[in-house]
Structure 1
Amino acid sequence: MGMMVVARRVDAPPDEVRYEFGFEDRFDRVLIIDPKTLEASVTDGDFNAAASAIAAKIVNSWRSAGDFPQRMLFAS
């Protein structure tokens, strides 16, 4: 079974980048990335496969482009 996770950047103060994310445009969770360490966490404490997949995609984009994307999609 496939998975589609969508994220949109909602805030980017100097010490963290926040994304709302969820399955198929259901933005019901929040992902936080530390721009200095690229460590990712979620506000609900459940760093599951969906959170891991979208965090990896966002960090890889940052590594390629040098900026955190406004939106990101992970599909498998």
Structure 2
Amino acid sequence: MGMMVTARRVEATAGEVRYEFGLDDKFDRILTIDPSTLDAHVEDGDFDSAAGSITAKIVKTWRSSGEFPTRMLFAS
């Protein structure tokens, strides 16, 4: 069974980048990434496979472009 995780950036400051994300276009969770360390955590404390997958894709895009994307999609 596949998984589709979508994310949209809702805030970007010098200290954190916040995304709403979820499965199948349900933006029901919050992901926060520290731009200086790339440490990530989710507001609900459950850093599951959906959170890990979308975080990895966001960080990979940041590493290649130097900017955090406004939207991101992970599908498997």
TM-score calculated relative to the size of structure 1: 0.99
Paired residues in the alignment total 76
Moved over 6 A (4+): none
Return the letter of the residue paired with 2:55: A
Which consecutive unaligned segments of at least 5 residues does structure 2 have? none
- The answer for the alignment partner of 1:59 in structure 2 is 59
SS in 2 for 1:60: helix
CA RMSD of aligned residues (A): 0.4
Which consecutive unaligned segments of at least 5 residues does structure 1 have? none
- The answer for the alignment partner of 1:3 in structure 2 is 3
Deviations 1:35-56 (A, max 9, x none): 0000110000000000000000
Structure 1 residue 20, shift from structure 2 partner: 0.1
- The answer for the alignment partner of 1:24 in structure 2 is 24
Structure 1 residue 32, shift from structure 2 partner: 0.3
TM-score calculated relative to the size of structure 2: 0.99
* Percent of paired sites with the same residue: 68
Write the distance in 2 (CA, Å) between the matches of 1:40 and 1:61.
15
Write the distance in 2 (CA, Å) between the matches of 1:8 and 1:25.
10
- The answer for the alignment partner of 1:69 in structure 2 is 69
